[in-house]
A and B are shown apart, each in its own frame.
Chain A
Amino acid sequence: MRELIEEIFVTALRNPFLDTSVDAVQLPHPEGQDLVVTTDGFTVSPLEFNGGNIGSLAIHGTVNDLAVSGAVPKYLTLSVFLEEGLEIKLLQRVIGACAEAARACGVVVVAGDTKVLGRGECDGIYLSVTGIGFRRRDIALGISQVQSGDRLIVSGTVGSHGAAVLLAREEFGFASDLASDAQSVFAQAQALLAVSGVRFMRDPTRGGLATVANEIARASGMTVHLSETLVPISDSVRSVCELLGFDPLYLACEGRLVAVVAESSSEAALAALRRVAPLAAVIGKVSAGQSRVILATRFGGQRLLDELEDDPLPRIC
């Protein structure tokens, strides 16, 4: 088993820095840039879904956290927790997806570890990924930079990942044309960084667009206005949500970013972003006022977008 795992990992992830015989690896870094580090754990059920699997998800998730920080992702470490009895073919597909995603993102896995847990001690596979990137010192992004009048831009349709994972649960047992949006947002982030006036970027993962909007409102102490008709949502996500009663604004994305840009830069930022993300759209703005998120609905009303409830319950009374 041990050898098999080694073979799977080393073969798939091979690169000049990866050396299983050493305890620690030494890495070169560019002069005059800041080191940026992020770490994240990944669990998803099911492990594979239309548009990816937990392996590609982990690489994209980590790369995206670095990308929206304005960094160029370079190195990753990968810790894998496997449940005893896991199908080897599945593991190969997951690690293969890791390798493929890493190659596409221009990052390498430089260190790793594998632990095998007993049956029932974990749900198939858990991954823990640390990402290292480098950032130019002139990049000053941060939620504290957000100002009244700034515009919100999203880089494409929202909610596809959340909807695809939902429908991929094996119990649904039917093929869906809904694919996860999981991908690297590095090119999107870089396109925006070429424009001045970008204040802040984030990738809306768990809790979706509504949660990022709430984070911006909370941290800035201002009101975030979103317009329902401006938010790009694919027809298939919309119809799944209308059937199952989910709000696409709260569904996870894994290949989108939300940017806050100065009003004067919003057109240039949108144009730059659209070259790599054609469905990008300006979806709202920030204004002085109470710290909250207001959605202008497609019916002409307004409602508050609250922070995600753990256990959303019908309000009908």
Chain B
Amino acid sequence: MTVQFTRKIKSRSAVKSRGPRGTSSAAVDTLRRTKNRPAKPFALLVPLSGPSGLEFARSIATLSVAEEAALLLSERPIVIVKRRAHLPIVDAVAPGLDELGIMLPYSPLLHLILDDFKGALVATSGNISGEPILSAPAEAELHLSPIASGFLHHDRSIARATDDSVVRVIAGRARLIRVGRGSGPIEMVLRRPLLMPTLAIGALQKNTIALAWGNRVAITPHVGDLTSLVGQETLLKTIADFESLYGVNAKRIAYDAHPGVRKTHLGDYGCLPSYRIWHHFAHASAIAGEFPSVEPMLCFTWDANGFGEDRTLWGGEALLGLPGDWVRVASFRPFPLLGGDLAGSQPWRSALGMCWEAGHEWSSEHDFGAPVLRAAYEHGINCPKTSAVGRLFDAAAAILGLCLTTSFSAQAAMRLEALCLPNLDFATAVELPLTLDESGVLRTDWEPLLPVLLDRSRSKTSRAQTFHASLALALCRQAIEIRRKTGVGIVGLGGGVFQNRVLTELIVRSLAQEGFLVRLPVKLPVNDAAISFGQIIELAASDQGRPRTHQFETMASVA
């Protein structure tokens, strides 16, 4: 049967197999069209070959020792690695990127298919884009027949559909990007038992759920976005399944403080005593939970947006303290997101917002409806302000013309990173002013980056490098300034921005040289998948009666 299956694949038609899934070569374009996935990279399933098993993988990618070890892990994650240049298929698989996600076969069936096929296959989950995996054969054939021209079903039913795990080697270690098959559920241990079983449902997107009781915490694989109806239904099913798996019924529930999370989304769980946890406090606590310490730490929580304590959108925050007692001590100069939510998929809005805020003009060949938008900006109509570094990346990618709109999250940041050369240093960095604002928070001003980004006489690579180096330098300067005032020398890094290898490796290296102890998560992703665990840690701290002491009020008070 597998011979027929691979013949069909070789004839370039899409074939879905339950468990393993595959297509090949130019069929990628068809798959992109039918799966409504215009640009998001696909992973390649590559055969185990040669004595090391890695010969094929090495022929398409340059692999470090840590990446080779990650590929061979028994959970067989997708490992994001540097692709070799001039491979024809790769441009279609990962457009605009210099990396590839590859994985080795993880089931006997996949071994058989790849042994017969003797090449790399695009492997993608059997789902409609943005929706959960379809695991029942009838359901899959009903919904996926426009995408797949054949189905290979297994005679064992699937109890829990799970995505592949994704890892990326950053600063010498394999870091989880997505918790999935083999890597989840993740178990963590609390130092002291919780007062009662607790459920944490994480953030709004790229979510996981954590169930904690006693001193155990179990974190689900990637659940998906809660912003769609099917996502909310999946959430409720996952909670019920997880509770029955562990035989634990939660007595309280923690969720993100974003007003978009409604109790009505939580079904019967909405009746439990509930605790709203600030998004970035959860990020910081997830780091503190993975690296427990009685010493206060400084956590940089850089992501693409979360709802902050002052009811603005955070995402470039430095939080000082311990779980249950975080104080924001540093951030970035805020800028407007023109059109609010739309900025998430239209990086040009962040770019225009930054330019206008700093009094710069950005001339692009595109017509953005500027007069109407300008009027909306000047009168604050649907232009919420953010200090999110993720949105700075969007803006930079848009100004460089890499990505005016996106079809998947982090697309702009990934393209910007892909332009950078390895082993970036501070040589090209621009100094960004660091000043204390009226509320005692240190603010880095991004404004000096704009003339650089807008300077078309410089190459895109040079501008992308300056951007990365300047942000890394800004973080180090914030850390040094705060250590000077407080003596705190432990630095945690949390939030999706730190999935950027170029940026993160420069930061980790530089902080270490400055004598900091750097905490970059290994057991959990740095992205929003860690929010559920961080929410548990926040509640665990309040169980210990650790009230907010405001040990560090603001930078002004400790100055």
Contact = CB atoms under 8 A, between A and B. Distances in A.
The answer to whether A and B assemble together is yes
A304 B205 CA distance: 15
Contacts of A240: 372
A50 B385 CA distance: 30
Given A172-B375, A294-B229, A314-B343, A301 B131 contact: yes
Given A302-B230, A304-B232, A317-B306, A243 B373 contact: yes
Nearest to B372: A243
Interface stretch (B245-253, B333-341, B442-450, B478-486): B333-341
A298 B383 CA distance: 26
Interface string B352-385: 0000000000000000010111011011011010
Nearest to A169: B379
A64 to B, nearest CB: 27
A315 B227 contact: yes
B506 interface: no
A172 B369 CA distance: 13
Interface residues of B, number: 49
A302 B227 CA distance: 10
For A169, A173, A244, A317, which residue has the most chain B Cβ atoms within 10 angstroms? A317
Nearest to B228: A303
B204 interface: yes
Contacts, number: 100
B499 to A, nearest CB: 14
B205 A317 contact: yes
A90 B428 CA distance: 60
A317 to B, nearest CB: 5
B228 A317 contact: no
A190 B278 CA distance: 52
Given A171-B379, A173-B375, A244-B339, A317 B305 contact: yes
Interface stretch (A65-73, A125-133, A305-313): A305-313
A245 B230 contact: no
B339 A243 contact: yes
Contacts of A317: 203-206, 256, 258, 279, 303-306, 528
B292 interface: no
B487 interface: no
Contact of A245 (B36, B128, B203, B342): B342
Given A316-B304, A317-B528, A309 B259 contact: yes
Interface in B316-336: none
B341 A244 contact: no
A246 interface: yes
B343 to A, nearest CB: 7
A256 interface: no
Contacts of A314: 305, 313, 337, 340-341, 343-344, 384, 386
Interface string A275-317: 0000000000000000010100001111110100101111111
B528 to A, nearest CB: 6
Contact of B228 (A171, A301, A312): A301
Interface in A133-178: 166-167, 169, 171-174
Given A317-B203, A317-B304, A303 B264 contact: no
Given A171-B379, A244-B382, A316 B305 contact: yes
Contacts of A313: 258-260, 307, 313, 340, 384
A7 B262 CA distance: 53
Contact of A166 (B259, B313, B381): B381
A172 B373 CA distance: 9
B75 to A, nearest CB: 27
Contacts of A173: 375
Given A169-B379, A244-B382, A292-B264, A315 B372 contact: no
B401 interface: no
B265 interface: yes
A312 B344 CA distance: 15
Given A314-B313, A317-B205, A317-B258, A244 B381 contact: yes
Contact of A301 (B130, B256, B260, B386): B130
A294 B338 CA distance: 27
A95 B344 CA distance: 45
Nearest to B315: A317
A211 to B, nearest CB: 15
Contacts of A246: 382
Interface in B249-308: 256, 258-260, 262, 264-265, 279, 303-307
Contacts of B381: 166, 244
A240 B279 CA distance: 32
Interface of A: 166-167, 169, 171-174, 239-240, 242-246, 292, 294, 299-304, 306, 309, 311-317
Nearest 4 Cβ contacts at the A-B interface: A245-B339, A316-B344, A302-B229, A314-B341
10 contacts: A174-B371, A245-B338, A301-B229, A302-B230, A306-B262, A311-B259, A313-B258, A314-B337, A315-B341, A316-B409
Given A244-B373, A245-B341, A292-B264, 15 more contacts: A169-B375, A173-B375, A243-B339, A244-B339, A244-B372, A244-B382, A245-B340, A246-B382, A294-B229, A301-B131, A301-B230, A314-B341, A316-B205, A317-B306, A317-B528
